[in-house]
Amino acid sequence: MNCLMRQLKKISNWSHSKRALSPIFATVLLASMIIVFGSVAYYYSTNITTNATNSYVNSMSGSQQSIAERIGFENVAYNSSSPAKLTVYIINSGSTNNLQINSTFLYDSSHNIIGVYTFSSGSISALKPIDSGVPTPNSGLNVGQEAYFTITLGKDASGNNISLTSGSIYTINLITKNGSDFNYEFSP
């Protein structure tokens, strides 16, 4: 019994001595803090890297499509009745499908802007494929497909109807959804 009492006293003394356990707890606490902060830093840097990579891939994809876009102007027909209209015939001669037009600028021979026309404002009619004749709003041309659209010229800054002068040279600047631009000169 005396032996048992001595052992209990040793255990009691050992549990009251904080110096023996303090370095162990400090080491475990420090290691767990390093693991937690390291994990947070790893996931944060992984997230930033993934976002940057995805952004780069998306921009390069758009650039590749923009480079592959080609529009051929086949004809421009001018109708001087009020309001004046231009019918523009185009073909997708590039290597990318779903070519979409965003806006069109019309310049005079001095390179002054006569008008800015967009599909969203309604001043440009929907693309009408020549092979089917059915309008395709908000869709584009596939490779080799021909289509036409009509631009209503509208009014100038003074409120007069815009009309084109016969024998003058005008330029149509067509811009696609990917930012490619194509020019065509014509004379009414």
CA-CA distances (angstroms) from residue 140 to 102, 143, 184?
10, 10, 20
> Domain ends where: 47, 67, 87?
67
Within this chain, do residues 103 and 146 fall inside the same structural domain, yes or no?
yes
- 13/188: higher pLDDT: 188
Question: Residue 50: helix, strand or coil by DSSP?
Answer: helix
52-70 pLDDT, tens digit each: 888 888 777 666 666 788 8
- 86/16: higher pLDDT: 86
Q: Give the global pTM.
A: 0.60
With vertex at residue 76, the alpha carbon angle to CA 62 and CA 176, rounded to the nearest 5 degrees, is 10
> What is the CB neighbour count within 10 angstroms for residue 180?
19
Within this chain, do residues 73 and 154 fall inside the same structural domain, yes or no?
yes
Helices (H) and strands (E) in the chain — how many of each?
2, 8
158-174 pLDDT, tens digit each: 878 888 888 899 999 99
> Domain ends where: 15, 33, 67?
67
**pLDDT at residue 155 greater than cutoff 60:** yes
Nearest to 93 by CA among 184, 167, 158: 184
**Residue ranges making up the domain that contains 97:** 69-186
